[in-house]
């Protein structure tokens, strides 16, 4: 847990992600990333100098086989409010619209529903579970498929929704998230999405894996280049000195 909290706190400090009085909604899909983020942020909230609250929000995609009751039990143990929002996003995309490229529309619909649910819950920030590998893969996707040097930002204010997105896992490698989820027996919910694992992102993941066989540390160099360039919003503030933690209550 200490290493995970070290990763997360460094990201929060470098990018000033959390301020006093924030109410942060964690988008919990049931996957390892969002569950690890939920646990880490909840633990961080107990001693971080800037006092903040954590709320868990799950968008139910309309698949009957997805059982989120173990996630409810986890939230009960953590003492975190858990909000489940029923939707029909899955059936709309695959059964009604028969989308050939479903991921973009699905992401757009999920974002809108999550932001609306977060605002309704009184949250001013939404924490997303994008980790270190997601950052590098998104950068490469943009470069290879769009011809742009671009990536999502660690912190993004959405003026239309009046909500701020934060990504506290951006320093955490995927292998560590996976081992963290296994070690803490997080209740991962299987995603029955027909497009799962069959995407351009998976192609980039495999490409990077193969390249690293002859170029070890490639992901770290790409990530470092993004910070040094820097891309808009990616220059970390390493001058911030961590404040003394609050006493746990």
Q: 181 near 36, Cβ under 8 Å?
A: yes
In this structure, the number of other CB atoms found within 10 A of the CB of residue 102 comes to: 19
Rounded CA gap, 16 and 154, in Å? 10
- Beta bridge partner(s), residue 55: 25, 81
| Residue owning tokens 């924030």 | 22
Which of 240, 247, 175, 245 is CA-nearest to residue 5?
A: 245
Contact 153, 226 (CB under 8 A): no
The reported pTM is 0.89
pLDDT reported for residue 247: 61
**Ordered DSSP codes for 52-66:** -EEEEEEEE-S-TT-
Cα–Cα distance, 194 to 66 (Å, whole number): 14
Query: 3-class DSSP state for residue 25?
Result: strand
Whose tokens are 């989120």? That residue is 68
**CA distances from residue 198 to 39, 46, 204 in whole angstroms, order as listed:** 28, 39, 11
Pairwise CA distance, residues 185 & 182, whole Å: 5
The position carrying tokens 């029955």 is 192
Per residue of the chain (249 residues), what is the pLDDT tens digit? 899 999 999 999 999 999 999 999 999 999 999 999 999 999 999 999 999 999 999 988 877 778 899 999 999 999 999 999 988 787 787 777 766 677 777 888 888 999 999 999 999 999 999 999 999 999 999 999 999 999 999 999 999 889 999 999 999 999 999 999 999 999 999 877 766 655 788 899 999 999 999 999 999 999 999 999 878 899 998 776 666 666 655
What residues have CB less than 8 Å from 164, skipping those under 6 apart? 124, 125, 126, 155, 156, 157, 158
Q: Which three-class secondary structure state does DSSP give residue 13?
A: helix
- What does the block give as tokens for 123? 């949250």
Q: Report d(CA 1, CA 93) in Å as an integer.
A: 38
DSSP 8-state class, residue 90: H
């Amino acid at each position: 847990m200490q290493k995970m909290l070290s990763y997360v706190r460094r990201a929060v400090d470098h990018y000033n992600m959390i301020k006093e009085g924030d109410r942060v909604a964690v988008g919990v899909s049931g996957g390892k990333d969002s569950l690890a983020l939920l646990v880490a942020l909840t633990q961080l909230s107990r001693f971080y100098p800037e006092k903040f609250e954590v709320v868990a929000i799950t968008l139910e995609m309309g698949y009957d086989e997805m059982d989120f009751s173990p996630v409810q039990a986890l939230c009960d143990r953590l003492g975190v409010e858990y909000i489940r929002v029923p939707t029909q996003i899955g059936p709309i995309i695959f059964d009604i619209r028969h989308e050939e490229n479903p991921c973009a529309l699905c992401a757009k619909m999920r974002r809108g529903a999550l932001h609306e649910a977060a605002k309704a819950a009184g949250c001013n920030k939404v924490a997303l579970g994008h980790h270190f590998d997601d950052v590098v893969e998104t950068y490469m996707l943009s470069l290879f498929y769009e011809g742009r040097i671009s990536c999502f930002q660690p912190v993004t204010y959405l003026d239309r929704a009046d909500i701020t997105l934060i990504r506290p896992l951006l320093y955490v490698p995927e292998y560590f998230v996976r081992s963290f989820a296994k070690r803490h027996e997080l209740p991962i919910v299987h995603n029955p999405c027909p497009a799962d694992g069959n995407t351009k992102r998976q192609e980039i993941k495999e490409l990077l894996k193969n390249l690293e066989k002859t170029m070890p540390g490639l992901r770290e160099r790409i990530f470092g280049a993004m910070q040094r360039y820097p891309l808009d919003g990616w220059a970390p503030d390493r001058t911030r000195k961590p404040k003394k933690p609050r006493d746990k209550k």
